[in-house]
Structure 1
């Protein structure tokens, strides 16, 4: 073989290796984003599993608050039955508002506030809220890395050939973007 053939062969090998590296990198970034999406589902499931215990604990103290508790259960079920991630997040945002009302009940019922089971459940839900927030942030970060990879050269060529599609960020609803008002 001539030197020219060796050079052409080396170039072809380098192009194939670069192509494989680009493809594998895109798959890795897509899978990481899907993993974080799954983590959101896991944390939302954990949260919905805690809610029946919270509702039962509150029921004994706040008998006339049945509508608030019924709303929490209804919203919990809407999170469970949601099909897409965006539907789950929207339902979860509504559930967060309803849970704030339940936590506010503790202020009106000193015995409830002192109940150890209620305290444990509130702590668990707070920890889960933090985990959901982290999972959402991690998901958006991984989506940003993935989308950047699919749009930059030379990976954009590989991504278009293999139909890697842009992923959507989780967005905060407009109502949640407003700063809470604190009044003294």
Structure 2
């Protein structure tokens, strides 16, 4: 989905090569995996980069009117919602695991089998958690 979005935007904003390279690099990192913290950082950077793509689209009315771009944007929005739901599910499972590791009598088994607390999937930047402000006066 992301490569299709990039190709659509490239046709209108060819001078944004660095942004396209950054997104391709972030996409490769997200596929490569890593720790939960690394994946969280890559996801946050990817969201910021995609936000820049949508900001570029604002400068090109013909791109905003492109049916393919609108379809890709809608699909990406749906995927972001699914990712957010998955993060909540993952964090709930981590919370339950961490509680079990600390609670009696399951802490005895956790200690014996060397279970360790898991890391939450968090958005580190407080600004990334805030809803963006939209100003239609410009």
How does the TM-score come out when normalised to structure 2?
Answer: 0.87
Distance across 2 between alignment mates of 1:83 and 1:156:
28
Matched residue, 2:60? 109
SS at match of 2:104: coil
Matched residues, number = 135
Higher helix share: 1
Structure 1 gap ranges (5+): 1-49
Q: Which runs of 4+ in 1 moved over 6 A?
A: none
Q: Residue 167 of structure 1: which of 118, 122, 136 is its match?
A: 118
After superposition, give the CA deviation of every residue in 1:9-44 in whole Å (9 maximum; x if it has no partner). xxxxxxxxxxxxxxxxxxxxxxxxxxxxxxxxxxxx
Structure of greater Rg = 1
Query: Using a 3 Å threshold, how does the CA distance of structure 1 residues 162 and 82 change in structure 2: closer, same or farther?
Result: closer
RMSD value, Cα = 1.8
Q: Residue 108 of structure 2: which of 110, 133, 157 is its match?
A: 157
Alpha-carbon contact 1:80-1:88 (below 8 Å) kept: no
Distance across 2 between alignment mates of 1:105 and 1:74:
19
Alpha-carbon contact 1:143-1:169 (below 8 Å) kept: yes
Structure 2 gap ranges (5+): none
